[in-house]
Structure 1
């Protein structure tokens, strides 16, 4: 199961909402875990909330899970039925990982031998990649940059503006 962390910034409105929805729609061809970081989001507009609801529905249809953290404004009560919000990143990731049954993190496959290292899929082209440590990585196939944390979560370096 693939897992992605999206770091958002600015005003979450129709523009960002539609871009993120299209990206999420693309990634939900197979069940995935999506964590949305709202720590740098200053406001979520009414249309932004509608896109979050649509994303939650899409995830439900495909067996994917979606949650967010770090939102500075209050979550409207009608949104709580569709979307889980947490105050801390660790809580959000723990919640999402609870849906994945297995000993390895959601985006990581078990290595065949200790020399091989851990494996992940590139968030852009889905190429299977080996990595030995957390940190910044560059896909040799599509040249996309991404960050891998200790649990195998992948965070892409893209801005939705």
Structure 2
């Protein structure tokens, strides 16, 4: 099971919602965990909430899990039913990892070794080894991404 962290910014409207939906639609072909960072989102429009509803439905249909954190606005009970919102990243990730029944990070595919850990490129799914957290570049597709201490992958892309 792989895990992805999406950092969102600006006004979450039809443009960002549709881009995010298309990206998640690709990623939900296999079971995944999705963490949405709303800490830099200034507003979610009504159309944005509709895209979040579509994303949640897609995740439920495919066995994926989704949660968000950092939203500074009011989360109504209707919005809370879409998916879980948490005050910070650590709680959100802990919640998502509770669905994974192993002690390894969600997207780590092999046990820890002295040579590093194995993850999948978030774009082309190539197996990659890494020794430490930080910025990485896939040699296959040239996608830039960040790996945190727990092995979570955050792809560098801008949703407009």
Task: Using structure 2 for the length normalisation, give the TM-score.
Answer: 0.97
Query: Which aligned segments of 4 or more residues in structure 1 are displaced greater than 6 angstroms?
Result: none
- Mapped pair 1:118 → 2:117: yes
**In angstroms, what is the RMSD of aligned CA positions?**
1.0
Unaligned runs of 5+ in 2: none
Deviation at 1:117, TM superposition (A): 1.5
The answer to whether 1:21 aligns with 2:21 is yes
Q: TM-score, normalized by length of structure 1?
A: 0.97
Instruction: Show the counterpart of 1:149.
Output: 148
- What secondary structure, in the 3-state scheme, does the structure 1 residue paired with 2:23 have? helix
Task: Supply the distance in 2 between the matched residues of 1:40 and 1:82 (Cα, whole angstroms).
Answer: 20
Q: Structure 1 residue 148: deviation in Å?
A: 0.2
Separation in structure 2 between the aligned mates of residue 114 and residue 32 of structure 1, nearest angstrom = 24
1:18-68 Cα offsets, whole Å, 9 max, x none, are: 000000000000110000000110000000011111111110000000000
CA distance in 2, matches of 1:83, 1:114: 35
Secondary structure (helix, strand or coil) at the match of 2:35 reads strand
Q: What SS does the aligned partner of 2:92 have? A: helix
